[in-house]
Amino acid sequence: MRVLVTGSTGPVVPDGAWPARAGDLAPASPDGAGGPVSARSTTPAPRDVARWWAETVSATGRPRGEVQVDHVGLASSGPAFLDAVALVAPELLAGVVPGPGGRDVPVAVRRDVRTGTVYADASQVPAVEDPATHDLTTGRRAPDGPSSSAAASSTPRASDALGHLVALCADAARTADGRPGRVVLATGGARSHDAGEGLLRALSGAPAARTGPGGPPGATGRAPSCSDGAPTAAAPTAERLRAARRALRDVRLVAAVATDAPLLGLHGASAALAARGVEDALAQDLERALGAVAHEVAAAVEALDRDGRGPLGRDLLATAGPRRLAGVPGSGSGGGAAFAVVALGGRLVPALREVADVVGLDERLAVADLVVVVVDELGAHEMGEGAVHVVAQRAARHAVPVVVVARSVVAGRREQAAAGLSGAYAWGQDAPQTLVERVARTWSRA
């Protein structure tokens, strides 16, 4: 019997971290103090569950090797994203990018030396408040506190530091023979909310992004920005976009998005802020601000891609207007950071699908007799677009039963059956290991 244990390798990072303070540092990177992300999470990592499962089966007296337990992690954003792709991108590169107040922010990325693919997590870098762009003074209420009206807390969170991170990744994304590779940016944990305007600004004339010990071989200490004639912040948007595209130097850019929300609209990036303690009036102001950016960027994209070779190709019925670009599923991820990736000619892919593909989830499912998915809560998110949905959908192709082990189970039996689950178990207030041992004894019987 072959058992495959999978699931999230760490806590879920909110897609667009507003209203966290702009100067707050992101969660520790995978090489930070305190051990791997999975060790700091309240939800056990797949490798821990796999170990408990194997020890339980061994204690029952089953012959060694009769039950083989494998594990693989999945994640859509945050430091856990880098943990998950470590299987195929073991090389860890360290560096720094300019952050708020001119201070250096340490970052870590992973590289697959075979394909020249660099994986990065947007939650590593903080956002900066940009009062010069839009003066929003509407109050913001804390999740459990009164309303405030400080302009410093209600201005858009700019993504300039994220642009420097992309520049550093582009410099490291090279194949063994020197050809341009690929940059995969998990945008879900981005702390900005500016439709990627700062990202484009930084790429069009990014200052130095120095790499520290362990950085990419041959690094010169400068991000792959434009030449000395880089456009200023006041330069036309089309000029800045052209310079930003040139900075990538044919590197293929991919945004691994944690949601399919568009940039604008009732289900867009700003509309999702109400659940995080943002006043409706402020969310509307932010929506208008994102709309203004989307209009300018879409016009720039149209001007640069009139020949039909742009990121969306030629459309006989519509141009690359703001509604079209801002309506791309996933463009609202990371407060619109994914929108900037579209404008740069990059692709948007579901983050869980990207991770599942690179770690070979389908190949592992093809030889498995049972798959166990570990999540925090089995609810609407996991059933609709989370790890449970991705795993159950792929396991169905191989007729492999799927069992979920979670802290809590909200979905009913009918929803579980419709999703293709064979069972769901919650440990609640008890120790997760106790539940895993009981489930292992139940499902590993001869």
What is the sign, positive or negative, of the torsion defined by CA atoms of 206, 210, 95, 354? positive
Of the candidates 106, 52, 104, the residue with the CA atom closest to the CA atom of residue 79: 106
| pTM of the predicted protein model | 0.82
Q: Quick check: 178 and 325 in contact, CB under 8 A? A: no
List all residues 6 or more positions away from 342 whose beta carbon is below 8 Å from its beta carbon. Answer: 255, 311, 312, 325, 328, 331, 348
Round to whole Å and give the CA distance between 77 and 379. Answer: 19
Average pLDDT over residues 286-312: 80
- Give the residues across from 107 on adjacent strands: 95
- How far apart CA 312 and CA 328 sit, in angstroms, is 10
Nearest 5 degrees, angle CA 89-CA 91-CA 95? Answer: 120
Q: How confident is the model at residue 40 (pLDDT cuts 50, 70, 90)?
A: very low
pLDDT surpassing 70 at residue 216: no
Token pair in block for residue 175: 């194949």
CA 89 to chain CA centroid, nearest Å: 16
Q: Mind listing the pLDDT tens digit for each residue in 317-343? A: 344 455 588 889 999 999 999 999 999
Q: Name the β-bridge partners of 105.
A: 97
CA distance 372 to 74: 12
Q: Express as a percent the part of the chain with pLDDT over 70.
A: 75
Q: Say if residue 283's pLDDT is above 50.
A: yes
Rounded Cα distance between 222 and 177, Å, is 21
Q: What is the pLDDT of residue 66?
A: 83
Residue 139 has pLDDT above 50, yes or no: no
- Is the pLDDT score of 138 beyond 60? no
Lowest mean pLDDT among 185-199, 204-218, 340-354, 371-385: 204-218
pLDDT, mean over the chain: 80
Structure tokens at 84: 């998950």
Q: What is the pLDDT of residues 222-250, one digit of tens each?
A: 344 444 455 554 458 888 999 999 999 88
Residue 96 pLDDT > 90: yes
- Percent helix / strand / coil, the chain, rounded to 5: 35, 20, 45
pLDDT computed for residue 172 by the predictor: 93
d(CA 412, CA 428): 16
Q: Under 8 Å CB-to-CB from 34, ≥6 apart: which residues?
A: 28, 40
CB 161 within 8 A of CB 125: yes
Residue 438 in tokens: 């009981």
Extract the tokens encoding 32.
Answer: 């930070």
Beta bridge partners of 378: 409
> Do 275 and 22 contact (CB within 8 A), yes or no?
no
Q: Does the pLDDT of residue 413 top 90, yes or no? A: yes
Q: Report which listed range, 59-73, 153-167, 316-330, 334-348, is most confident.
A: 334-348
Query: Residue 225 has what pLDDT?
Result: 40
Report the SS3 class of residue 413: helix
Most confidently modeled of 133-137, 154-158, 267-271, 404-408?
A: 404-408
Degrees to nearest 5, angle at CA 256 with 282 and 72: 125
State the pLDDT confidence band at 17, using cuts at 50, 70 and 90.
low
Asked if the model's pLDDT at residue 89 lies above 70, the reply is yes
